Amino acid sequence: MEQTYAIELKNITKRFGKIVANDGINLKVKRGEILSLLGENGSGKTTLMNMISGIYFPDEGHILVDGKAVSIRSPKDSFDLGIGMIHQHFKLIDVMTAAENIILGLKGNAVLDMKKVHKDIQELVDRYGFDLDPAQKVYTMSVSQKQTVEIVKMLYRGANILILDEPTAVLTPQEVDKLFEVLRNMRDDGRAIIIITHKLNEVLELSDRVAILRKGKYIGTLQTSEATVESLTEMMVGEKVSLDINRPMPHDLKKRLTINNITCTNEDGLHVLENVSFEAFGGEVLGVAGISGSGQKELLEAIAGLTKLSSGSVIFHSPEGEDIDLAKYDAAQINELGVRHSFVPEDRLGMGLVGSMGMTGNMLLRSFRKGKGFFTSLKAPKELAEKIKEDLDVVTPDIDYPVRRLSGGNVQKILVGREIASSPAVLLVAYPVRGLDINSSYMIYNLLNKQKERGVSVVCVAEDLDMLLEFCDRIMVLCDGKVTGIVDARKTTKEEVGRLMTSHKEEQ
Amino acid sequence: MDNTVKEPLIHLSKREDMSFGKKWLVRIIAILLSLIVCAGFIFIIIKMNPVEVYEGIVEGAVGTGRRFWVTARDALTLLCVAVAVTPAFKMKFWNIGAEGQILMGCVASAAMMIYAGNALPTGLLLVLMFVCSFIAGGIWGIIPAFFKARWNTNETLFTLMLNYVAMQVVTFCIVYWENPAGSNSVGIINAPTRAGWLPQLFGLDYGWNLAIVLLLTVLMFIYMKRTKHGYEIAVVGESENTARYAGINVGKVIVRTVGISGGIAGIAGFILVSGSSHTISTSTAGGRGFTAIIVAWLAKFNVWAMAVIAFLLVFMQQGAIQIATQYNLNENASEVITGIILFFVIGCEFFINYKLEFRKKHSA
Amino acid sequence: MSVLITFIQKAVMQGICMLFGADGEILTEKSGNLNLGVPGMMYMGGIAGLMAAFYYEKLAAHPNGLVGMILSLLAAFLMAAFGGLIFSVLTITLRANQNVAGLALTTFGVGFGNFFGGSLSTLAGGVGQISVAITGDAYRAKIPLLSKIPVIGDIFFNYGFLTYFAIIITLLMAFFLKRTRWGLNLNAVGESPATADAAGINVTLYKYLATVIGGGIAGLGGLYFVMEYSGGTWTNNGFGDRGWLAIALVIFALWKPINAIWGSFLFGGLYILYLYIPGLGRSMQEIFKMLPYLVTIIVLIITSLRKKKEQQPPESLGLAYFREDR
C-alpha cells in the first residue's frame, strides 16, 4: 500500500526568465519527521519552498498534501492546508506588537479581544518555554526574538507542516539548541518539519531524513542515520571536494593597513565593531571569518570610508611611503587623496554596480570624475569594458546591455574586473564567489591570487570555511564585532576557526 | 491524476524585452481606445456625432495659423516644465512642486517687469528676468531638497504643500501690483511699452519661446546623457548605496539637481509671463506643473518623447476648448477628455512592463 | 464673544470638508495607496450629489427633503467611489505609478465637476441659478432645541447633519483601524504588503476596498461643500484647494483619524483666520492664508526629525506590490 505523505512534490519546475531555479524536483515528507533540505547557496532550496508556501507558482509539476493534489496560489491557500513557512527574512510588521503580528490575517470575531489573544499566546509561550512578551513592539526586538514571534505565529495558527529557511544562521549556539529542542517536540507531536540549511552538522544532529538539491536539480534523499559528512558533501557539491585552490606562498610582505582599535555603532546605538585591531600586508590574502552579521560588512565599509567610526584609526601605508588615516575622510575624499583601494561589496547590484546600466556605464562608476571639465568621457570606460569582456569571458550580448539582466557569475566578473583594473594597493572583497558556478569561482580565485602576487593586500570576507582555509594566508575571526583570533590558514583547522567564531558567546 | 486542479487563470511576469515598435503600438492602441471611450462619453452626454467633434478638435487645435501657434506655444511651455522635472524624477525625487516653482518664476519675472520695466534696456531686462526666475524657482526646489537630503523628509508631500504657499505668494503680490485698483488682478503688465515682453524672433510671435525651450531640451538631453552631473543623478536614482560606494555626495547631488529642476520650472514661469500671458495670477501655471509630471513619466524621461506627448495633450486641450465654444459647451470638457486619455495611456504601460500568461489548456 | 462663536462655527464648517477628505485619504493611505486624486474625487462627489438632488426635485411631483438627501448622499458616495475605482484599477491591477495616476484623476475629476456643474448651471438658467432648495434645507436643518441653547448650542449643535456624520465616520474609522481584525489587516497591507500577503491577507482586495470606500468618503466632503456650505449651488472651481488641504490634514494628523477631527477644525480656523484678525491689510491676509500649508510642512519636518516609528507614513506608501518581484 502506498503511504500518504504530509506533502509530496512531483516534478516541480520553476523558471525566472532564462534561469531555471528548480528543474523537475521530487520531494516527500511524512508526518512526525524532520526533513533537511540541503544544498549550497543558490541551489534552489528557497525557491522550492516558496512554491509550497504560495509565494511563487510552479511553472510545471504538482504538489500533493495528504495525498491530494492541491493548487497553492497564494500564501492563504498554503495556510489553509496547514503549511507554515518561517522565512529567512522575517515577515513581520515593525510597528505592531508580537500579538498583533501573530493574529494577522486570521479569521475570527470582527472586534479584537487582545486580552484573550495575549492569554492564548502566553500559554503557548509557557508551554514551549519561549521568551516572548506578546505586547512588545517588533521594532524593539532582537533577531532571535523576532524568530520566536514567527515560530509562535505558526504554532498559534496550528500549522502542522512547518518549513524553516536557514533558521540558525542568525542564532547563538544556545539559541540553536533551544530551537532544535522545540522542533523535536513538534515532530513528536506528529508535525512534519522541513528545515532548509547548508550546515551539515545541523542536518546530522536534527533531521530524520535529508534531501539534497544541487544547482536547481534534485539529487536524492538519504536516511540521516546512513549519511555522513563526506557522503552529504559529495551529493551537495557533486565531485569530491578538495577545492584544490592554488595558493602561492606570500613573499615580500609590506605593511599596507594598520587598523587601530576601531569601534563602530549602528542606528540603534549598538556596537557592531568593538575595538578591532589588526594589520594587513601587501602580498598576502587576509581572510575574515565569522557568523553572518558579526561585523564583517561594517569592517570593510569602514576601511573603504563608507561607514563613520566612533573611534579608532585606519592607517593606510601607501606604496610611496606615506601614512594616511582614512578614518578622517569619507569615500569621496579618499578617492581624491589618490588612495588606491578597491572594494568588491557583498551587494553586487545594489552597491557595487548600477543594474540598469551596461558594462560601459559601470566602468565609469569609479572613474567618472577623472579628467577636467563638465563632460564624461566614454572612451576609456568603453575600452576597459571591452577588455574585461574579452579577458574574463563575460557573457553579454553587448557591453551596453544592462548588467542587471546578466547571470551572477558575469556580474561578479564585471565587478571584480573593474576593481582590479585600477591597480589597487588594497583590495577588499566580500563573499567573492557566493552564488557562482565552479568555473567562475576558480576564475575569481585566480584573479585575486594574481593581485596578491603583484603585492596587493587582499582582505577577503567569506562564509565558506573550506574556501577560507584553502585560499587565504591568514584568517581573522570576528565574533559579535570583536576579533576573537587571527590564525595561520595553513596550520589551523576548521574546528579551531569554528570555535573562534562562537567563542565569545560560549564564555557568557 | 486529478485534473480538476487549476493553475491561476492569469499568470503575471515581468518583462523587459519588448521591442521599440511594439511598445509604441501598445501606446497607440491605448490612445485609440481612449478616443473611442471619449466618443462614447461625448455621444451619451451631448448627443453629438463624435466624428464631427473630433474634426472640431483638429480644427480647433491647428485649423488656422493662429490656433496652431497657440497650441505650439502651450505645448512648448508644457515641454519646458516636463524637461524641468526630468532630472529630479530620474533621481527618484518626487518633485510634485513644479506648479509652485513655475509660479515663483512668474513672480520673479513679473516683479522685474513692474519695478525695473522702464528703467533698463530691453535686452538686459530680459536677461535679468530669465536669471531671477531661474533663481526663484530654484530656491523653491532647494528648500524641500535640503530637508530630504538632511533628514529624509518626505518630498512628495513637502513639494505638494509648497505649491500652495507659492500661490499665496502670488496673491500677496497681486495686492501690490493690482491694476486697475480694486480689480484684484494684475492686468497686462507694461501694455503701452511692452517692456519685458519677449520680442518676435525670426518673424515669429513665439520665436523666443521656441528657441528657449528647444535649447533647454537639447541641453537637458546632453546634461543627462553626457555630463558628470547627469551620471551622478542616474546613479543616485538607481541606488543610494551605490552612490555612496562611488563616493558621490548624495545630499549634495539631491540639492543641486532639484535646484536645477526648480530653476528650469522657474524659467517656464518666465516664458509664461514674458512670452505669452504678460500678466500673473494664481492660475498662470494652470496645472502645468502636474500635467508635466505625467508627461515626463509617460515619456520615460526621454526628452524627445516628451515633446510628442506634450504636443498631443495640448492639441487635445486646445481642440476641446474650440469645440466648447463652437457647440456652446463649457471648456472643462477638455479636462475630462484629457483625463480619460491619460487613464488609458497610464494603464497601457502595464502591458509593456508585464507579460500575461493565460492558463494553458492541458490536463495532467 | 459673538465674533468668537461665529469664528468657531465658520472654522468647523471649513473643517468638515477637509475632514471627509482626510478620512477618505487616511483609509486609502493605510492600504499603502497615496491617492493624489482626492481633490478630483471631491469634485466628482459634489457634482454627483448636486445633480441627483437637482433632477429629483425637478422630476418629482412633491419632492421630499429626506429623499433628496438620501439620493444625493448615495450619488456623491458612488461617484467619488468610482473615482477611487479608476485609481485602483490603474495602480493596483495595472501597477501604474501612484503619483501619476492620482494627478490624472485630479485633472479628470476637477474637469468632470466643472463640466457638469457648468452644464447644470446653463440648464438652470445661469451661474448660481441651480437651486435644490428642499434638499439643501434638509442638509442645513439644525438640531431642534439643542441648537437654541445659548453659546453651547451655537458652538456644538448649530450644524447640519453631515457635520455630525463626519465626526461619527471618523470615530468609527478610528475604532475600525485600532480595534478590529480588518483594521489590523489593513494596517499590515499598508506597512508591508509582502508580509500581509504571507499572512494570508488578500492584499489586492484590501487595497481595492480601502481605496474605493476611501474615495467615496472623500466625495462626501464635496457634497458637504455643495449642500451645506454653499446651500445647494455650484460655482466652477468654487471648491478651491480644499482637496489638497485634506491631503495636508492626513499628514498633520499623523494618519490617525482622531487627530484629524481637531486638526480639521484647526485647519478650518487657520483657513479663515485672516477674516477675524482686526487691522490686517489685504496683503497680510494672503500671508495668513498660507498658514495651514506652513503648519503641515512644519509637522512634516518635525516628524522626519523625530523618526518615531509610530508617526511615520505607512511604510509601503506609494509603492505598487507585485508578489513575484525579485
In a domain, C321, yes or no: no
Exposure string (b/e) for C282-302, b if CB count within 10 Å is 16 or more? eeebbbbbbbbbbbbbebbbe
- What is the per-residue pLDDT across C224-243, written as a single tens digit (0 to 9) for each? 998 888 877 888 777 778 88
Residue that finishes a domain, picked among A185, A212, A237: A237
CA of A150: which chain C residue's CA is closest? C199
In a domain, A349, yes or no: no
CA of C202: which chain A residue's CA is closest? A76
Give me the mean pLDDT over the A337-355 stretch. Answer: 85
Burial zone of B51 (CB within 10 Å; 0-12 exposed, 13-18 middle, 19+ buried):
exposed
pLDDT bracket for residue C183 (50, 70, 90): very high
Beta-bridge partners for A475: A287, A487
Torsion over CA of C253, C257, C262 and C266, rounded to 10 degrees? 40
Counting as low any pLDDT under 70, the low residues of chain B are: 1-11, 16-17, 328-329, 358-364
In a domain, B75, yes or no: no
Quote the CA–CA distance of C256 and C173 in Å, as a whole number: 9
Query: Among candidates C126, C105, C88, which has minimal Cα distance to C40?
Result: C105
Structural domain total, chain C: 1
Check pLDDT > 70 for residue C325: no
Query: Quick one: pLDDT at residue B246?
Result: 86
pLDDT bracket for residue C128 (50, 70, 90): low
In a domain, C147, yes or no: yes
Check pLDDT > 50 for residue A507: no
Check pLDDT > 70 for residue C326: no
Query: Quick one: pLDDT at residue B364?
Result: 35
**Residue B298 near residue B309 (C-beta atoms within 8 A):** yes
Q: Provide the domain limits for residue B239.
A: 80-310
In a domain, A31, yes or no: yes
Q: Does A158 touch chain C (CB under 8 A)?
A: no
Q: CB–CB of A104 and C310 under 8 A?
A: no
Length of chain A: 508
Mean pLDDT for chain C?
87
B332: chain C residues, CB-CB within 8 Å: 110-112, 114-115, 118, 236
Torsion over CA of B45, B46, B49 and B54, rounded to 10 degrees? -90
Q: Which residue has the cell 549556539?
A: A173
CA of A80: which chain C residue's CA is closest? C200
**Residue C191 near residue C177 (C-beta atoms within 8 A):** no
Q: Are both A439 and A416 inside the same structural domain?
A: no
Q: CB–CB of C95 and B350 under 8 A?
A: yes
DSSP A341-410: EEEE-SSIIIIIS-TTS-HHHHHHHHHTT-SSSSB---HHHHHHHHHHHHHTT---S-TTS-GGGS-HHH
In a domain, B298, yes or no: yes
Mean pLDDT for chain A?
84
> Residues of chain B whose C-beta is under 8 A from some C-beta in A?
1-2, 5-8, 11, 16, 226-232, 234-235, 238-239, 241-242, 244-249, 364
Length of chain B: 364
In eight-state DSSP terms, residue C323 is T
Check pLDDT > 60 for residue A508: no
pLDDT bracket for residue A274 (50, 70, 90): confident
Name the range with the highest mean pLDDT among A275-284, A324-333, B7-16: A275-284
- What is the per-residue pLDDT across A56-90, written as a single tens digit (0 to 9) for each? 889 889 999 988 899 888 777 888 888 888 887 78
Query: Quick one: pLDDT at residue A435?
Result: 72
Out of A16, A110, A139, whose CB is closest to C309?
A139
Query: Quick one: pLDDT at residue A202?
Result: 79
Q: Does A87 touch chain C (CB under 8 A)?
A: yes
Q: CB–CB of C247 and B151 under 8 A?
A: no
Query: Quick one: pLDDT at residue B27?
Result: 83
CA of C191: which chain A residue's CA is closest? A93
Q: CATH number, domain at C193?
A: 1.10.3470
- What is the per-residue pLDDT across A291-319, written as a single tens digit (0 to 9) for each? 767 888 889 988 888 888 888 899 998 88
In a domain, C44, yes or no: yes
Query: Quick one: pLDDT at residue C224?
Result: 92
Torsion over CA of C192, C195, C199 and C203, rounded to 10 degrees? 50
C-alpha cell, C47: 457634482
Q: Does A104 touch chain C (CB under 8 A)?
A: yes
Query: Quick one: pLDDT at residue B362?
Result: 46
Q: Does C184 touch chain A (CB under 8 A)?
A: yes
- What is the per-residue pLDDT across B209-265, written as a single tens digit (0 to 9) for each? 888 889 999 999 999 888 989 999 999 988 888 998 888 888 999 999 999 999 999
B320: chain C residues, CB-CB within 8 Å: none
Q: Are both A462 and A381 inside the same structural domain?
A: no
In a domain, B37, yes or no: no
Q: Are both A266 and A319 inside the same structural domain?
A: yes
| Residue of B99, B164, B355, B357 to mutate for C, most C C-beta atoms under 10 A | B164
Query: Quick one: pLDDT at residue A2?
Result: 52
Query: Could you tell me what percent of chain A has a pLDDT over 90?
Result: 13
In a domain, C123, yes or no: yes
Give me the amino acid identity at A303: I
Q: CATH number, domain at A227?
A: 3.40.50.300
Query: Per mean pLDDT, which range of A99-113, A328-342, C79-93, C264-278 is the poorest?
Result: A328-342
In a domain, C19, yes or no: yes
Check pLDDT > 50 for residue C251: yes
Q: CB–CB of A376 and B228 under 8 A?
A: yes
Structural domain total, chain A: 3
Chains in contact with B, counting 3 or more C-beta pairs less than 8 Å apart as contact: A, C
Q: CB–CB of C107 and B287 under 8 A?
A: yes
In a domain, C223, yes or no: yes
Q: Are both A32 and A117 inside the same structural domain?
A: yes
Q: CB–CB of A351 and B242 under 8 A?
A: yes
In a domain, C316, yes or no: no
Query: Quick one: pLDDT at residue B10?
Result: 66
Query: Per mean pLDDT, which range of A201-210, A214-223, B52-61 is the poorest?
Result: B52-61
Query: Quick one: pLDDT at residue A97?
Result: 92
- What is the per-residue pLDDT across C160-172, written as a single tens digit (0 to 9) for each? 888 999 999 999 9
Query: Could you tell me what percent of chain A has a pLDDT over 70?
Result: 94
Query: Quick one: pLDDT at residue B162?
Result: 93
Burial zone of A233 (CB within 10 Å; 0-12 exposed, 13-18 middle, 19+ buried):
middle
Structural domain total, chain B: 1
Give me the mean pLDDT over the A325-341 stretch. Answer: 81
B54 or A357: whose pLDDT is higher? A357
Q: Are both A434 and A456 inside the same structural domain?
A: yes
Q: Provide the domain limits for residue C72.
A: 2-311
In a domain, C109, yes or no: yes
A365: chain B residues, CB-CB within 8 Å: 235, 242, 245-246
- What is the per-residue pLDDT across A221-254, written as a single tens digit (0 to 9) for each? 888 888 887 777 777 766 545 567 778 888 888 8
In a domain, A321, yes or no: yes
Q: Provide the domain limits for residue A279.
A: 242-340+424-508
Check pLDDT > 70 for residue A367: yes
Quote the CA–CA distance of C229 and C231 in Å, as a whole number: 6
C281: chain B residues, CB-CB within 8 Å: 175
Query: Quick one: pLDDT at residue A504?
Result: 52
Beta-bridge partners for A210: A36, A222
Quote the CA–CA distance of C27 and C80 in Å, as a whole number: 14
Q: Which of residues 89-148 of B touch C (CB under 8 A)?
A: 94, 96, 147
B349: chain C residues, CB-CB within 8 Å: 94, 96
Query: Quick one: pLDDT at residue B6?
Result: 46
CA of C282: which chain B residue's CA is closest? B175
Tell me the H-state helices in C225-319.
242-252, 257-276, 282-289, 291-306
Q: Which residue has the cell 500678466?
A: B279
Q: Which of residues 60-89 of C touch B (CB under 8 A)?
A: 86, 89
Residue that finishes a domain, picked among A214, A237, A260: A237
- What is the per-residue pLDDT across A378-428, written as a single tens digit (0 to 9) for each? 888 888 888 888 888 888 888 888 888 887 788 888 998 888 888 888 999
